[in-house]
Amino acid sequence: MPRVPRPHHVASTAQRATTRPPPPIQPSIQQQHFKPNRAPTPTPPLQDSITTKDAPPNPYKSRALPWAFATLLAAGLGFYTTRLVIELRKPCINPEISLLTHQRDVSARYEDTADAFDSEVGISETLMGINSLRKELARKCQGHVLEASCGTGRNLGYFDVGPQGRVESLTFVDLSPRMVELCMKKWVILHGTEMPSANLKRGLKVRFRKGSVISSIPDVPVEGEEEGKRGYDTILQTMGLCSTPEPVELLRSLAAHLDTGNPDARILLLEHGRGDREWVNRVLDNAAEKHAEIHGCWFNRDIGALVEEAAKGAGLEVVEGRRRHFGTTWVFELKAGERLRREGNSKQGEQRPNEVKEATSWASWLGWK
């Protein structure tokens, strides 16, 4: 008999039968014997593969991570609070450390810390709202602007330098060459190297100088008759008085470079120092020496007293003075008082001495030294 070929569908059915999945596994006799007397739970059909979804949920596993995190957080907070309480209760170990005479010159530290400066102060400044104060002061700058102790240029992005801007020139000065370099790089990142630029005010001049603002403030960048004869319309300094061994001399030098012929000329300061609570100052005094060694800044100075002393000597008037953060953040707006205006105006039209010597000679002329 000729072999009748099986139709294809029969063959595949047979094949399927041989590869069919095994029947559900039956519990053993022993298990059946001890099984409680209730309806059998339907066994789920076996599947081709087992995924993690199929595993029964582990009630501890899902909570283990949050528990570990919460425990770590609680331990950290506990440790931090204990340390804080210990620090707050410590008596002042060296009460004289707030005096200038007991504070070493640490201004050279910035040359080493310049590269890490932004990342070190960035988070705390954002949390404390310091950036909005920087913005507020930089936005007030107009005309020929000097930024003293400019550091890495943390105010750089806030100046009104656009096509309709009120700033005519920007001069950045810092004692640390590395700081000035970083400040310049920041300018290039923000505004490019092209001058003039369509995004910047026409005729805007920008300069970066290494040197001390106590002894070497450059002349205002004007040509012609006014060259060497006029001061800056705005002088901005942020967090600079903490970093120099001669904060009063520094302020006097700034006053000597303010345009006394302009009634709107201002010195704007954003500084940090002693607070208005006894416990805050105790903490600052106890930590001051170590902080100064590492960061190059004495954060326990009485900024109000320094500004007052300098203003009195230089003939400056305090237009506004306010404090924040338990009194540790200080904002000042200063202008030339009547005496400085009179003395300054009588000097108008005279050639100013060369820039390196000018701070000293102006200072001695005004009877400050």
Ligand X SMILES: C[S@@+](CC[C@H](N)C(=O)[O-])C[C@H]1O[C@@H](n2cnc3c(N)ncnc32)[C@H](O)[C@@H]1O
- Interface positions with ligand X (CB under 6 A): 107, 110, 149-151, 154, 173-176, 179, 212-214, 238-240, 243-244, 250, 297
Report the chain's terminal Cα–Cα distance, integer Å.
132
Give me the least distance between CB of 236 and ligand X, in Å please.
9
CA atoms within 13 A on the CB side of 68: 6
Q: Do 318 and 307 touch, CB atoms closer than 8 A? A: yes
Q: Which residue stretches of 192-265 are H helix?
A: 247-256
Q: Do 147 and 178 touch, CB atoms closer than 8 A? A: no
The residue among 217 and 261 lying less far from ligand X, judged by its C-beta, is: 217
Residue of minimal Cβ distance to ligand X: 151
The answer for residues whose C-beta is within 8 angstroms of residue 198's C-beta and 6 or more apart is 163
The residue among 296 and 313 lying less far from ligand X, judged by its C-beta, is: 296
Give me the least distance between CB of 139 and ligand X, in Å please.
15
Q: Do 158 and 138 touch, CB atoms closer than 8 A? A: yes
Distance CA 79, CA 81 (A): 6
The residue among 151 and 261 lying less far from ligand X, judged by its C-beta, is: 151
Instruction: Write out the DSSP string of 97-130.
Output: GGSGGG----TTHHHHHHHHHHHHHHHHHHHHTH
Give me the least distance between CB of 232 and ligand X, in Å please.
15
The CA-based angle 368-269-337, given to 5 degrees, is 45
Q: Residue 132: left if φ>0, alpha if ψ -120 to 50, beta else—which one?
A: alpha
Give me the least distance between CB of 178 and ligand X, in Å please.
9
How many Å separate Cα 34 from the centre of its chain? Answer: 72
| DSSP code at position 218 | P
Give me the least distance between CB of 228 and ligand X, in Å please.
21
Give me the least distance between CB of 174 and ligand X, in Å please.
4
The residue among 93 and 356 lying less far from ligand X, judged by its C-beta, is: 356
The residue among 249 and 262 lying less far from ligand X, judged by its C-beta, is: 249
Instruction: Kindly give the interhelix angle for 109-128 and 177-191, rounded to the nearest 10 degrees.
Output: 50
The residue among 150 and 316 lying less far from ligand X, judged by its C-beta, is: 150
Give me the least distance between CB of 258 and ligand X, in Å please.
16
Query: What type of residue is 299?
Result: F
